[in-house]
Chain A
Amino acid sequence: MKQNKYGFWHKVRKNRALLLMLTPAVLFFLVFAYVPMAGIVLAFKQYNYSGGIFHSPWNGLDNFRFFFGSGDAWRVTRNTALYNIAFIIINNVLQIFAGILLFEVAGKWFRKITQTILFLPYFISWVVVGAIAYNLFNFDVGTLNVLLKGLGMQPIDIYNTASYWPFILIVVSAWKALGYGTIMYLAAITSIDTEMYEAAQIDGANIFQRIMKITVPNLIPTVIILVLLAIGNIFRGDFGMFYNMVGNNGLLFSNTDVIDTFVFRSLTTSNEIGMSAAAGFYQSLLGFATIMFANYAVRKYDKDRALF
């Protein structure tokens, strides 16, 4: 009966406790990650409520044609990628800069308090950020216009002017992410071998040379991992941020609409299930391709640094 003592079922029995412990997680990701992947077929169907996912008729590439033909595809892809590239560059440079300074300043209390304050925005929800933006930018009562009027200048109508928004969103992103990244880099700097600094000091290197020649190069592995992770998400807009800052304000869409807000709107307000599924699928494919490419590039440069 039992031909192979080390057969599959034998192994299952041997590991049954561990397998049982994995079961909830396996089921969870099956239902909430793998089953939706199968739902991608919707992108190729003309969805209707009576037919549902299985019985709605196929319509080939019509959903994609509709999405790309509308001109929305290019606009939202461009916005998503450009915003994320700007966030990656500006946020990382700022965080490294702040991390190095935080490491170098002497005052213990000053460091503690600064770190605590910089980290604060990370803890609040995007809804609260939206409320803060309202406080700052509201046309009639907003703090910014109060200040402008105080200086004898004309108030500006931020919520009706698309051109301000790239700048605002970049600042908001930097504000929210500053503390998290700074602490991440501070941790990496703290783990640098202090002997290197001592040796450099004996050799007569000044403190700026030390930072540029020792601290910064030693941070590169951390930068690569963080940037690699961020690049994998370059076609994924931060929905919470865009939605709470901009909302459904169509006047700003030319400069603020990203793939995620577009898909959300197509799904919930215009109810275009097939087309939004197609846009979502397009986004997933782009994301998958970029992470594979980024990982491949890092692998070529230095095998140990790659994600997988």
Chain B
Amino acid sequence: MSSTTVNGDMKKVRKHADIDKITLSIIGYVTLTILAIFCIVPFLLVISASLSDESSIIEKGFQIIPSTFSTEAYRLLFEFPGEMLRAYGVTISVTLIGTIIGLFLTAMTAYVLSRRDFEWRNRFSFYFFFTTLFSGGLVPSYLLIINFLQLKDTLLVLILPMLMNVFYIIVMKSFMSSIPDAITESAKIDGAGDFRIFMQLIIPLSKPALATIGLFIALAYWNDWYNALLYISKSELMPLQYYLYKMLGNMDGMRKAMMSSGAVVNSDLPTESLKMAMTIVATGPILLAYPFIQKYFVQGLTIGAVKG
């Protein structure tokens, strides 16, 4: 008798649990779907607008689905790439150089700070960490770069200020701290110097962290427009994002840019769809590479989360 009630209670409990689970699943699927739509729709709107016929945009505005489909904007962009191509070149060079040098220096610094037998590691860690607590602000850095380093309108000004970042050093350091000392000890006994240990042992062992931090650095360079806004006025040194920024705010500039690349432009340049097409072309490589590199970023966040 009592055992049957217990059985019945258990069944009831289980049934409740099932209902709760289903409720949560429904909430989960619905909410996450709404959030996902919220995140992706803006991109779809831009893509749709870039594929719309200009006169239909002027007449009816940006539509969620193009009312009159047209690839005119892309045709213009690819036929007369001129300045945009140069901006691509600037961004690719800056991203490559900056990522390689920045990653190497970040790793080297992190390695020294991860060495438990290095006497001054805490002092140097503080030296780096303090810069995240206090800064001189925009004005002194601006005058330093313009007046003292004389870096205005150089490629270097797009690379140098972003070369190193304390947060990346910390993440890299916490990864390297997890490499067992025994590995480097034996190399030391064999007479290898610190730099050789770093190059030949630590770097190969740190590949996951290097991939992740490298991609973070590369993304920051690819998306940078701020240094260009402050320090670049020559159009041939404009990186992609800054070029896009300029074009979005300035239709006359866009007309001139298209003319300088050889397009015969009359007054009805499809400016609205062109703006949207430029946005897509400037974001394109990231959107294409994104599915493949996403997991490294997730990895990086996880490494960062473990050790703060």
A residues near B, CB below 8 A? Answer: 11, 15, 17-18, 20-22, 24-26, 28-29, 31-40, 42, 52-53, 97-98, 101-102, 104-107, 110, 113-128, 130-132, 134-136, 138, 140-143, 145-146, 149, 175, 178-180, 183-184, 187-188, 191, 201, 204, 206-208, 222, 225, 232, 239-240, 244, 247, 260, 263-264, 267-268, 273, 276-277, 279-281, 283-284, 287-288, 291-292, 307-308
Selected A-B contacts with CB under 8 Å, 22 pairs: A21-B111, A28-B163, A29-B128, A38-B140, A40-B137, A101-B27, A105-B25, A107-B29, A113-B36, A117-B39, A119-B297, A121-B39, A131-B46, A131-B248, A135-B62, A141-B58, A143-B45, A184-B304, A207-B21, A273-B143, A281-B137, A284-B137
Given known pairs A114-B36, A117-B39, the reply for A11 and B119 (CB within 8 Å) is: yes
Say if the beta carbon of B204 comes within 8 Å of chain A: no
Q: Is the interface of B mostly helix, strand, loop or mixed?
A: helix
Say if the beta carbon of B139 comes within 8 Å of chain A: yes
Say if the beta carbon of B100 comes within 8 Å of chain A: no
Instruction: Determine, out of B75-83, B191-199, B205-213, B260-268, the stretch whose residues face the partner at the interface.
Output: B191-199
Say if the beta carbon of B51 comes within 8 Å of chain A: no
From B108, B138, B241, name the one whose CB has the most chain A CB atoms within 10 angstroms: B138
Q: Which residues of B contact A222 (CB under 8 A)?
A: 305
Instruction: Determine, out of B175-183, B251-259, B286-294, the stretch whose residues face the partner at the interface.
Output: B286-294
Total CB contacts across the A-B interface at under 8 A: 273
Given known pairs A29-B128, A34-B131, the reply for A120 and B140 (CB within 8 Å) is: no
Residue contact A29 to B127, C-beta cutoff 8 Å: yes
Type the 1/0 row for B138-178, where 1 means its CB is closer than 8 Å to any CB of A: 11111110010100000000001101100001000000000
Residue contact A267 to B109, C-beta cutoff 8 Å: no
Residue contact B137 to A240, C-beta cutoff 8 Å: no
Residue in contact with A18 in the complex, picked from B16, B20, B35, B118, CB distance below 8 Å: B118
Given known pairs A29-B127, A244-B245, A308-B129, the reply for A22 and B109 (CB within 8 Å) is: yes
Complex CA gap A125/B161 in Å reads 18
Residue contact A123 to B286, C-beta cutoff 8 Å: yes
Residue in contact with B226 in the complex, picked from A116, A204, A240, CB distance below 8 Å: A240
Q: Which residues of B contact A208 (CB under 8 A)?
A: 20, 24
Q: Which residues of A contact B276 (CB under 8 A)?
A: 131, 135
From A31, A32, A107, A183, name the one whose CB has the most chain B CB atoms within 10 angstroms: A32
Residue contact B61 to A145, C-beta cutoff 8 Å: yes
Residue contact A39 to B144, C-beta cutoff 8 Å: yes
Residue contact A17 to B195, C-beta cutoff 8 Å: yes
Q: Which residues of A contact B272 (CB under 8 A)?
A: 141
Select from chain B the residue with minimum beta-carbon distance to A282.
B137
Given known pairs A124-B283, A187-B305, A207-B21, the reply for A276 and B138 (CB within 8 Å) is: yes
Complex CA gap A146/B27 in Å reads 31
Residue in contact with A40 in the complex, picked from B140, B222, B283, B287, CB distance below 8 Å: B140
Say if the beta carbon of B298 comes within 8 Å of chain A: yes
Complex CA gap A260/B139 in Å reads 11
Residue contact A21 to B194, C-beta cutoff 8 Å: yes
Residue in contact with A183 in the complex, picked from B33, B108, B301, CB distance below 8 Å: B301
Residue contact A22 to B112, C-beta cutoff 8 Å: yes
Residue contact A101 to B32, C-beta cutoff 8 Å: yes
